[in-house]
Amino acid sequence: MSNRLALPLAALLACLALTPAGALAFDRPFIGQFNTLSQLGSTIPANGDVNPYGIVTVPRSVGALVRGNILISNFNNGENLQGTGTTIVQLTPQGTLTQFAQIDPKSLPGACPGGVGLTTALAVLPRGFVVVGSLPTTNGMAATAQAGCLIVLDSSGNVVETISGGPINGPWDMTAVGDGVNSTLFVTNVLNGTVASGETPTNGGAVVRIRIHTSARHAPEVTAEDVIAEGFPERTDPAALVIGPTGVALGNGGTLYVADTLQSRLAAVPNARWRTTPLGGAGETVAKGGYLNSPLGLTVAPNGDILTTNGADGNLVETTPIGAEFQPFDTGFGEGALFGLALAPQRQGVYLVDDGNNTLQLLH
């Protein structure tokens, strides 16, 4: 697996960027410094849930959460039915697993149409609240998928509330930005007309911005919900249940990056935290094709580049904010194995979930 740059001259020149001091600097790939992939541990809890999707590192210790550990949500149950997973596990960086939560769909404190099927949407808020998306099915088939919700848990893994209705319709992935006691969630939604249109793509995919206030005495309070981008293609799929806008992450300057999976494309939503009208046309194109091959999980590297996992070939791809791509890292996992990813603390690597064998991996 080569870490050399694979860029034509025009793209190499496009990688020149102004540093904060105003000098020209070459954007070196963040993943280029890593060449080892290590399996840390299994993501399968006692009830047998499989298909790890969401992943997030714990920013600080509170309750059952331990700083530096990794939370992972499971999308399938022990029978491998999609949209029926109910568990969130917590792994240490050494791979030791404990169960953070098992969510009973019959005991939810609020509405969640269809029940529980935990998605890639996973985030930790101030005071240790955890938010996870649910896109549930009754039998693992897309025809039974329902709108679901966002489920909020306290730092001990107890469900305290749900966020549903309005623009929440199949929450598929999510990122969160904290500002003291307030947080902003950016959630991709993939069920706007998808079930009705089946495997024929429809441009109903959307990104919803949710503002949340947290306090020590009460469950988080939603203060605003706004659609900030729309028009992303989405469709059902017999193997993946649904394909639509997936990974999201906030980059420098307040631009939100979105993995447009169906079009093998990276989209940008400028001024995502404060924009007052939705950006149509599936956002602005950062890059399309090339090394991008059904991108799913997405995060922003410390150098500002965009990291994505390819669902169609198992590659980890790094793209600059102006669309230049570096030689990808081939995990060797193949099609359908990669989904969520997260940065390891102190720039020590990238955590990846391997759906193929239900493990947590570290690229370092």
CA dist., res. 96 & res. 62, Å (int): 18
pLDDT of residue 12: 43
In a domain, 20, yes or no: no
Nearest Cα residue to 334 out of 294, 281, 275: 294
Instruction: Provide the pLDDT for residue 7.
Output: 43
Q: Is residue 29 part of a domain?
A: no
Helix (H) or strand (E) holding 258: strand 256-260
What CATH number corresponds to the domain at position 47?
2.120.10.30
pLDDT mean values, one per 10 residues, the chain (364 residues) = 39 41 56 97 98 97 97 97 98 98 97 98 94 98 97 97 98 94 96 96 97 87 97 95 98 96 98 97 98 98 97 97 96 95 95 97 98
What tokens were used for 151? 């489920």
pLDDT at 21: 33
CA atoms within 13 A on the CB side of 351: 29
- Name the DSSP letter for residue 11: H
Q: Domain for residue 21, yes or no?
A: no
- The whole-number pLDDT of residue 20 equals 36
Give the whole-angstrom CA distance, residue 289 versus residue 108.
41
Structure tokens at 250: 């906030």
Starting at the earlier edge strand, list the strands of the sheet with 149-153. 118-124, 130-134, 149-153, 159-163
pLDDT on residue 317: 98
In a domain, 23, yes or no: no
In a domain, 295, yes or no: yes
Do the domain assignments include residue 7?
Answer: no
Residue 268 counted as domain residue: yes
> Does residue 27 fall inside a structural domain?
no
| Total domain count, the chain | 1
pLDDT in the model for residue 27: 60
Which pLDDT score, from 0 to 100, does residue 17 have? 40
Residue 156 tokens read as 């001990």
Confidence (pLDDT) at 179: 84
Q: What is the pLDDT of residue 217?
A: 75
pLDDT at 10: 40
Q: What is the 3-state secondary structure (H, E, C) of 54-70?
A: EEEECCCCECCECCCCE
DSSP summary character for residue 31 = G
What residues make up the domain containing 137?
Answer: 35-363
**Radius of gyration in angstroms for the set of CA atoms belonging to the chain, rounded to a whole number:** 19
Helices (H), strands (E): how many in the chain?
2, 27
Single-letter code of the amino acid located at 93: P
| Token representation of residue 129 | 């609240």
CA-CA distance, 19 to 17, in Å (whole number)?
6
List, in sequence order, every residue forming a beta bridge with 338; answer none if it has no partner. 354
Identify the pLDDT of residue 353.
Answer: 97
CA distance 194 to 217: 39
User: What integer pLDDT is reported at residue 254 of this predicted model?
Assistant: 95
